[in-house]
Amino acid sequence: MNHPQDVNPTVLPSGDNPRQLGPYRLLRPLGQGGMATVYLAYDCEQYRQVAVKVLADALAYEPRFVQRFYREGSITRRLSHTHIVAGYGFGHDRHSGKHYIVLEHVDGPSLQVWLDDAGCMPLSQSVRIILEVASALEYLHSQQVVHRDIKPGNILLDPQGHVKLIDLGLAKRIDDLRDLTLADQG
């Protein structure tokens, strides 16, 4: 277990990027999408590394995007499955004005990065990944949730090569599917 003194200092560039959101010390960016940037962070209360997804500033004052972001945080936090990244919480930092979601940190590449680097995958590993994704999707369905954005970039591989499904930003509850949207819409 890492303690505060064991964690590398923050390496974020200076500027508008906060170094701390609530009890989460942001260490470095892990990735960026259209709606948010994900940071490796240190949870100073639980003494663990986490991933903190921060809503883009350009969307932070658009109610429909903020609502969608919080829906993702709420859905993720309620889920508990071996092959779905765990959600620990979400909120709004008063000091920086940032909206954020706190997630389990998975120390491994996305399936997309892995495939880009390796080119191909042994059949046995491909089958295991497909079965693990199917297990995650079956669980989501049992929880009345549809992911709606399954792709290699939203499948992380942990150090043992097992799947962690991520990015529930487009997820919807089955009882709320009357309002289906395209990926680039609310």
Please indicate, yes or no, whether residues 127 and 169 belong to a single structural domain of this protein: yes
Q: Where a domain ends, among 104, 131, 159?
A: 104
Question: What is the C-alpha separation between 87 and 105, in angstroms, rounded?
Answer: 10
Active site residue 167: no
Q: Are residue 130 and residue 43 in the same domain, yes or no?
A: no
pLDDT at 148: 79
End-to-end CA distance of the chain: 39
Containing structural domain, residue 144: 111-179
- Cα gap 174→79, rounded to integer Å: 15
Check whether residue 98 and residue 122 sit in a common domain.
no
Of the residues 74, 104, 134, the one at which a domain ends: 104
Q: Does residue 80 sit in the same domain as residue 115?
A: no
Count of domains observed in the chain = 2
The pLDDT assigned to 132 comes to 97
Say whether both 50 and 115 belong to one domain: no
Indicate yes or no: pTM above 0.85.
Answer: no
- Predicted local distance difference test score (pLDDT) of residue 104: 96
- Is residue 121 domain-shared with residue 77, that is, in the same domain? no
**Is 55 in the same domain as 96?**
yes
Q: What is the pLDDT of residues 47-101, one digit of tens each?
A: 999 999 999 999 999 999 999 999 999 999 999 999 999 999 999 999 999 999 9
Structure tokens given for 82: 């071996």
Q: Are 77 and 87 in contact (CB under 8 A)?
A: yes
Q: Are residues 169 and 95 in the same domain?
A: no
Asked, for residue 39, whether it belongs to a domain, the answer is yes
Same domain, 60 and 34: yes
Q: What is the DSSP letter of 8?
A: P
Q: Which of 79, 104, 129 is the last residue of a domain?
A: 104
14, amino acid identity: S
- Where are the extended beta strands (E) located within the chain? 20-21, 24-32, 36-43, 48-55, 87-92, 99-104, 145-146, 155-157, 163-165, 172-173
- Same domain, residue pair 122 and 90: no
- Which of the residues 57, 93, 149, 158 is marked catalytic? 149
Residues of the chain with confidence (pLDDT) below 70: 1-17, 176-186
Q: What is the CATH number of the domain that holds 173?
A: 1.10.510.10
